[in-house]
Amino acid sequence: MNHHEAVLHVRGEARFVDDEPTPAGTLHAAVVTSPTAHGRLLGIDAGEAERLPGVRAILTCRDVPGKNQVGTIIPDEPLLAEAAVHYLGQPVALVVADSDAQARRAARAVHVPVEPLPPEFDARAANARGELIFPQRTFARGDVDSAWAACAVVVAGRAETGAQEHVYLETQGAVAIPGEGGTLRLLSATQAPTAVQRVVAGVLGVPMHRVEVEVRRLGGGFGGKEDQATPWAGLAALGAWCTGRPVKLVLRRQEDMRWTGKRHPYSSDFRIGLDRDGRILAYEVFFYQNAGATADLSPAILERTLFHATNAYFIPHVRATAASCRTNLPSNTAFRGFGGPQAMFVLEAAIARAAAEMGLEPAEIQRRNLLREGEEFPYGMRMASSALTRCWTEAETRYDLPAIRRRAAEFNDAHRLEKQGVAVMPVCFGISFTNTVLNQAGALVHVHTDGSVSVSTGAVEMGQGTAPKLRQVAAATLGIDPERVRIDSTSTSRVASTSPTAASTGPDMNGHATRLAGEAILARLREVAARRLAVADAATIGIRAGQVHVLGRPAGFSWAELVGAAYAERVSLSAHAHYATPRIHFDKATGRGEPFAYHACGVAIVEATVDVLRGECRIDAVRVVHDAGHSIDPLVDRGQVEGGLLQGIGWMTMEEVLHLPSGGVATDTLTTYKVPDLYAAPDEVEVHFLEPGGEPAGIMGAKAVGEPPLMYGIGAFFAVHAAIRAARPGTDTHFVAPLSAERILAALSEPS
Amino acid sequence: MGAPTTRFLLNRDEVRVDLPAGTVLLDVLRRERGLTGTKEGCREGDCGACMVLLGEPLDGVIRYRAVNSCLLPLGDAAGRHVVTIEGLRTSALSPAQRAFVEDGATQCGFCTPGFIVSLAGFLLSAPHLTVDAARDALAGNICRCTGYVSIRRALHRICAALPDRGSPGAPDRLHGLIAGGWIPEHFAEAAARLRTMGGTAVAAPAVTGPLVAGGTDLFVQRAAELLDAAPTFLSRRRELQGIRLEQAVCLIGAATTWSDLEDSPLLRGLLPGIEGHLRLAASRPIRHRATVAGNLVNASPIGDLSILLLALGTFVRLSGRGGARELPLRALFTGYKQLALQDGELVTEVGFDAPPEGAVFSFEKVSRRRHLDIASVNSAMLAVARAGRIESMSLSAGGVAPVPLHLSRASAFLAGAPLDAATLRAAMAVAQEEIAPISDVRGSAGYKRSLLGRLLTAHFLRLAPELEAGLLP
């Protein structure tokens, strides 16, 4: 249970970046951004702003002592704009002042003349003009072009999913504190402390060892702080470097919503072919990813889109192509699922259209094509277990899918103004960073002389419950009560060269590193115990429940005594360990390999009601069977399923990012961008964890659970879609998400 | 210019703050007092992360209500008791905090203090301590992590553990909550301490700067301006509050809050279902602050209360330098965000005739999110039909014109007309001619037209369910 963290939360004692007491003399920064989506920067007029009270410095790209660059995959993103601006909201200058009100007032007084150039906001149009972030990529298997001839049914169409704003409750922010000897300490709300350290060192032109980045916890991340926490940390660092004073930069909500990237909108064309029995023979898809102005994480996100183009299904002939299109919007970025949800939506749209054409329930097609154990993904990896098919069967029987359908049909017969729809959503999500090099982690474990233990890793706690899981791992490894273990903040000085806490891999990789460090200490402690207890074979010694055991029997020697003895013998009570996920590899040239440690799966049954008169929808119930392996912390995992699910439902039905003609974000407040509230959660949410079957998994037999549940939300779209079809049989709604009240009413009003 | 000193009771301490009275309390708490348990999430009352309790001395006891501190001006805290999450701490966890921990109702924890404060507000002020009321009390708190399922589990656990606590404000409720460890002991002394602080109970000041009633929209739109102004706080003006019936006219003080409306047995009797409409429009903490006239003079073309009151044939009473006058509400709105108010004129009261026996009152609203969202289109109807004839009809609609619109032509078309589907459909066509919606973030103009048709249909189905076949599109 997330007990330690939760106690701090409910008492209001948990500190986030903006809550940390800052040193006396801390200055505050505000960002001047481009007023235009695309253009040549004609200068920066800060004359008026400089004279305002409290202003200490106004910094531009010319003040950057090192490299003016924050792009991590492709170096295409200046910290502060140089000759051109590429989106409305792009940082152009930094104002540092005594208070944040003074800094913001001065930032508004900085004039940024721009000679406008024609902006592009549409992904397909950008593609047509050759504006790609990098060359398009294709994953293929079999022979799609020949396969169509063998299909009894071929349908094609377009599917669109919108952007999604993260709405982490804690906005982006950082505090930079200059130290002696040209060092800098940063408190940053980032999922990627090492990336911040690397970029800040580059910006300042100093070695990485002079920059320490520390993260206690995040008020939500969801991917939005994987790459996009970095610019704000970089700006705070620049401000501190140039003024020699601590500088705090925390975005206001509206700034954050205007200036930071979202989940990538995708527009996709699909074609799917099936035989008479509903078996999918061929699937072709082209994804247009709206990357925004810079690369950010788009290349990696696009790759995961391709990996998950066939989601949970076996399809013999596949060709999936994706183009990352450069537009004049804030660069879109990671968001829970990382391109996977966008891909899965398209295939579900294709299945829905095929089912309508064939007069079948979509679930019939889904079930017939579900990946079975041993079947191959298009990228060459095999499905290592039957977990997916077991999830399907379990969901069907446990929740009595036929009865659910019967109830909906009866309801629809009895009601004219309301209609219900049911959809099933299977998810199969690969666990590992698709970029193999990122699949490494480190941990530093200290056993203190009183027997208490502290653990540092590269993992950042952002609500996903990595900290309580790591505590369990450390306690289980050392054979002590978890209460003896404290999970420390994440610091680049304690554990270096870490990967972002992302891709659902946090507990797995950092858990293994913690286990390895714990085992190293345990091995030394066994030797100490063997000497103290005069036992010949240290391997017969174990620690359980804080007591030393020999051959499984308590030896009357406690953990605390053992630790004291080890210290007295001058035996090291600390260990650092490194973990690299074994086996995984992927050849980008051939598009084949074993990129994932394993797959996490599950199946959700979603029930929705549509108000046929008003066009409103309600997601009534979601019933999930999820494969979490041997869950280390079922309460945490349940929370991940429930929370991811509602984010997915929000993305599919309610949340919509709209832009002004200028390219500015129109939905830049929580008044205009609506996320689900307490009443929007389905009345019934059931989560059942699949009985583990011994398949490959992560730390302690548990499976990663951070991202996959979001994709159950896709079922909400198709449940509403089914309800619309119940109201207007024969309607083939457009596959455009979110399926907002406006779109529902349009579908209900279409001539059938 | 020296800022005035504001004195109030903050958690366990009497404090003096020398900042402009228009400073939002959130900034006072976090920056001046270092009380960082109160979080800044949106600065517009939409997320609830900054929730505090505002305790107002009333008839010898303190009425505590959860309010968004990002929209609460410091001046409105004067002489009152402000309780933050820090002021709810005791050495042990309260049963509510324990339920949140044990049910896994926190993930990242950023929103959590706000939820706990809202819960305390529920415990102290909800007329009935039911799960339904608890959900309503927490609906203004956004959590992006949990999907609310674990929070609902915690709410059920909490409500199951709550014995009958007496009516809100009654000493037995307060002492029961203290005895049960739900709130700290300092609550018991707050009323006496506020009394001894004396003097700070602000007398009605002269109207000088801008008028602030609830401030729930002003501080979203114009916080920077109000910081340097010296606002006059209408929440102090008792004479502007209250709901009464005089000779079959319902009169509501301009500064009456929405929660006073929904808690009023008189109003609930006159307009059955009103509490549900208000609940849909705003969270309980916003309803604790938002006022009747505030929603009108905001002049939003989509204001829920404006639309409701327009259909009721409401008049407004104004008071200014030139004396008092009365206007029909529909004449108050002269253009987009334009009012027929003269300089220095204040709305003092609104009134409407009690709906006659047999009248059908209907309110409809569709928004992107069903609860706590601004409507794409909203509409209200007050109608009386007898023996196949429409005796009276009053329709209003928001989001379809630059002003909250009384659908006067459609209403006139139906008054005295036969109650049949063809007539009602013809009235819908008339309504389409008197609206002029625009495309914006709440929907395209075409959608709003089509939606108004659907909402009018919904009204008419309430008036004449038997006409369903003829009314449905």
Give the mean pLDDT per block of 10 residues along chain A (752 residues): 85 98 97 98 97 98 98 97 98 98 97 98 98 97 97 98 98 98 98 98 98 98 98 98 98 98 98 98 98 98 98 98 98 98 98 96 98 96 95 98 98 97 98 94 98 98 96 98 97 97 94 98 98 96 97 97 98 98 93 95 98 97 97 96 98 98 97 97 98 89 96 98 94 90 94 65
Identify from B47, B70, B93, B110 which residue to disrupt to test chain A contact, counting A C-beta atoms within 10 A and taking the largest count: B110
Burial of residue A520 (number of CB atoms within 10 Å: 0-12, 13-18, 19+): middle
One-letter amino acid of B402: P
Per-residue confidence (pLDDT) for residue B203, from 0 to 100 = 44
User: With contacts defined as CB-CB under 8 Å, which chain A residues touch B377?
Assistant: none
Amino acid letter for position A307 = F
Can you read off the two tokens belonging to residue A156?
């094609």
CA of B198, closest CA in chain A: separation in Å?
31
Of B46, B116, B149, the CB nearest to A685: B149
CA end-to-end span of chain B = 64
Residue of B nearest to A659 (CA): B441
Is the torsion defined by CA of A54, A60, A65, A69 positive or negative? positive
Q: Quote the CA–CA distance of A467 and A489 in Å, as a whole number.
A: 10
Where a domain ends, among A259, A288, A314? A259
pLDDT score at B201: 46
Local structure of B431: helix, strand or coil: helix
pLDDT at A149: 97
Chain B residues within an 8 Å CB radius of A616: 366, 370
CATH code for position A304: 3.30.365.10
Looking at residue A450, what DSSP letter applies? Answer: T
Cα–Cα nearest to A404, from A423, A389, A419: A423
Give me the number of domains chain A comprises: 4
Q: Does B47 touch chain A (CB under 8 A)?
A: yes
Rounded Cα gap, residues A204 and A525, in angstroms:
44
Mutate to test the interface with B, among A4, A10, A102, A171 (most CBs of B within 10 A): A10
Contacts of B447 in chain A (CB under 8 A): 742, 745-746
* Calpha distance B322→B240 (Å, rounded): 19
- Neighboring chain B residues of A647 at a CB cutoff of 8 Å: 144, 147
Nearest CA in chain B to A661: B440
Is A519 catalytic? The answer is: no
CA distance B354 to chain A (A): 29
B82 interfaces chain A, CB cutoff of 8 Å = no
Whether residues B139 and A614 touch (CB distance < 8 A) is answered with no
Angstrom CA distances, A115 to A38, A83, A338, stand at: 8, 11, 35
Give the end of a domain, one of A527, A550, A580. A580
In a domain? residue A2: no
* Residue A726 buriedness (CB in 10 A; 0-12 / 13-18 / 19+): buried
Backbone angles phi, psi at A301, to 5 degrees: -70, -40
Option in A10, A671, A745 nearest B93 (CB): A10
Query: Any bridge partners for residue A619, and if so which?
Result: A608
Answer yes or no: do A9 and B152 touch at CB < 8 A: no
Q: B37 contacts in A (CB within 8 Å)?
A: 11-13
Which residues in chain B are contacts of A672 at CB distance < 8 A?
A: 374, 441
CATH architecture type of domain B238-353:
2-Layer Sandwich (3.30)
Q: pLDDT confidence of B463, banded at 50, 70, 90?
A: very high
In a domain, A376, yes or no: no
Same domain? A532 vs A448? yes
For residue A741, the chain B residues in CB contact (below 8 A) are 366-368, 376
A669:B44 CB<8 A? yes
Outline where DSSP puts E strands in B69-125.
Answer: 81-83
State the average pLDDT over residues B345-366: 96
**Across the interface, which of A14, A169, A221 has its CB nearest the CB of B49?**
A169
Inter-chain CB pairs, A–B, below 8 Å: 230
Taking Cα atoms as reference points, which of A580, A588, A587, A425 lies closest to residue A505? Answer: A580
**Are A105 and A35 in the same domain?**
yes
Closest residue in A to B455 (Cα–Cα)? A614
Please say whether the beta carbons of A372 and A391 come within 8 A.
no
Residue A561 shares a structural domain with residue A631 = no
For residues A471 and A567, membership in a common domain is answered with yes
Confidence class for position B229, pLDDT limits 50, 70, 90: confident
Task: Report residue B443: phi and psi, to 5°.
Answer: 140, 165
One domain, residues A151 and A182: no
- What interhelical angle do A506-533 and A466-478 show, nearest 10? 20
Q: Are B43 and A644 within 8 A, CB to CB?
A: no
Q: Compute the Cα dihedral for A529, A532, A537, A541 and give only its sign.
A: negative
pLDDT for B109 beyond 80: yes
Read off the tokens for A302. 């696009």
Partner-chain residue, chosen from B101, B367, B454, that has the shortest CB–CB distance to A3 = B101
Residue with tokens 């905090």: B97
SS3 labels along A359-413: CCCHHHHHHHCECCCCCECCCCCECCCCHHHHHHHHHHHHCCHHHHHHHHHHHHH
Which chain B residues contact residue A746 at CB under 8 A?
447
Q: Do B135 and A635 touch (CB under 8 A)?
A: no
Structure confidence at residue B343 (pLDDT): 86
Structure tokens at A110: 């900085």
* Interface membership of B454 toward A (CB under 8 Å): yes
- Check whether residue A317 and residue A404 sit in a common domain: no
* Disruptive mutation site among B84, B136, B149 for chain A (greatest number of A CBs within 10 Å): B149
A341 cis-preceded (ω within 30 degrees of 0):
no
Across chain B, mean pLDDT equals 94
Compute, in degrees rounded to 10, the torsion defined by CA atoms B420, B425, B428, B430: -90
pLDDT of residue B208: 65
Q: Which residues contact B439 (CB under 8 A, 6 or more apart)?
A: B445
Question: Ramachandran region of residue A518, left (φ > 0), alpha (ψ -120 to 50) or beta?
Answer: alpha
Q: Do B444 and A217 touch (CB under 8 A)?
A: no
Third-level CATH fold of B5-196: Ubiquitin-like (UB roll) (3.10.20)
The CATH class given to the B360-471 domain equals: alpha beta
3-state secondary structure of A239: helix
Question: How many H helices and E strands in chain A?
Answer: 19, 30
Closest CB from A417, A656, A681 relative to B147: A681
Q: How far apart are the first and last CA of chain A?
A: 52
CA angle A31, A35, A37 (to 5 degrees): 115
B450: chain A residues, CB-CB within 8 Å: 745, 749
List the structure tokens of B455.
């909402």
Same domain? For A421 and A446 the reply is no
β-pairing verdict for A418-431 and A317-326? unpaired
The residue range of the domain holding A322 is: 132-156+275-369
User: Which range is least confidently modeled, A687-701, B196-210, B225-239, B323-337?
Assistant: B196-210
* Closest to B108 (Cα-Cα) out of A163, A619, A706: A706
- Using the beta-carbon criterion (under 8 Å), do B49 and A614 form an inter-chain contact? no
pLDDT at position B164, please? Answer: 66
Subunit contact B441:A253, Cβ cutoff 8 A: no
B135 contacts A679? CB cut-off 8 A = yes
Residues A611 and A705 in one domain: yes
Flag whether pLDDT at B200 surpasses 70: no
Return d(Cα B88, Cα B11) in angstroms, integer.
Answer: 8
Give the CA distances from residue A63 to residues A59, A81, A234, in Å, rounded to whole numbers and listed in that order.
Answer: 6, 12, 13
Chain A positions touching B455 (Cβ under 8 A) are 614
Rounded Cα–Cα distance for residues A207 and A284 (Å):
48
Tokens of A394: 């379990």
Q: Which residues pair with B340 in a beta bridge?
A: none
Identify which of A10, A220, A642 has the shortest CB distance to residue B108: A220
CA-to-CA separations, A152 to A155, A337, B171, in angstroms, rounded: 10, 33, 76
Considering only CB atoms, B148 lies closest to which of A220, A646, A666, namely: A646
Q: Which residues of B touch A175 (CB under 8 A)?
A: none
Put simply, whether B376 touches A (Cβ < 8 Å) is: yes
Note whether A461 and A574 are same-domain residues. Answer: yes
| Nearest in space to B237 (alpha carbons), one of B281, B305, B293, B168 | B293
Tally of CB atoms within 10 A around B324: 11
Best mutation target, B144, B286, B298, B451, to test chain A (most A CBs within 10 A): B144
What helix, strand, coil percent values describe chain B, rounded to 5? 40, 25, 35
> A739 to chain B: nearest residue by CA?
B368
User: Two tokens at A618?
Assistant: 């309600």
Question: Cβ(B443)–Cβ(A742) under 8 Å?
Answer: yes
Q: What is the pLDDT of residues B302-313, one digit of tens each?
A: 999 999 999 999
Please check whether residue A321 lies inside any domain of the structure: yes
Closest Cα in chain B to A740: B368
- Looking at residue B68, its amino acid is N
In chain B, which residues have their Cβ closer than 8 Å to the Cβ of A106? none
Burial of A457 (0-12, 13-18, 19+ CB in 10 A): buried
Q: Where are the domains of chain B?
A: 5-196, 238-353, 360-471
CA neighbours closer than 13 Å in the CB half-sphere of residue B69: 32
Rounded Cα gap, residues B68 and B46, in angstroms: 9
Q: Are B124 and B54 in contact (CB under 8 A)?
A: no
Closest partner residue to B443 (CB to CB) among A12, A647, A742 is A742
Same domain, residue pair A571 and A425: no
Put simply, whether B370 touches A (Cβ < 8 Å) is yes
User: Looking at the domain assignment, is residue A471 inside a domain?
Assistant: yes
Residues A34 and A138 in one domain: no
Closest CA to A305 of A368, A379, A366, A362: A379
Separation CA B292–CA A151 (nearest Å): 65
> Rounded to an integer, what distance in angstroms lies between the CA atom of residue B105 and that of residue A616?
29
**Catalytic-labelled residue, pool A77, A165, A226, A707:** A707
Tally DSSP H helices, then E strands, for chain B: 20, 18
A11/B97 Cβ within 8 A? yes
Q: Centre a 10 Å sphere on the Cβ of residue A489 and count the other Cβ atoms it contains.
A: 14
Interface test with A, best of B43, B53, B216, B368 (most A CBs within 10 A): B368
Please indicate whether, in this complex, the C-beta atoms of B97 and A10 are within 8 angstroms of each other: yes
Do A46 and A192 belong to one domain? yes
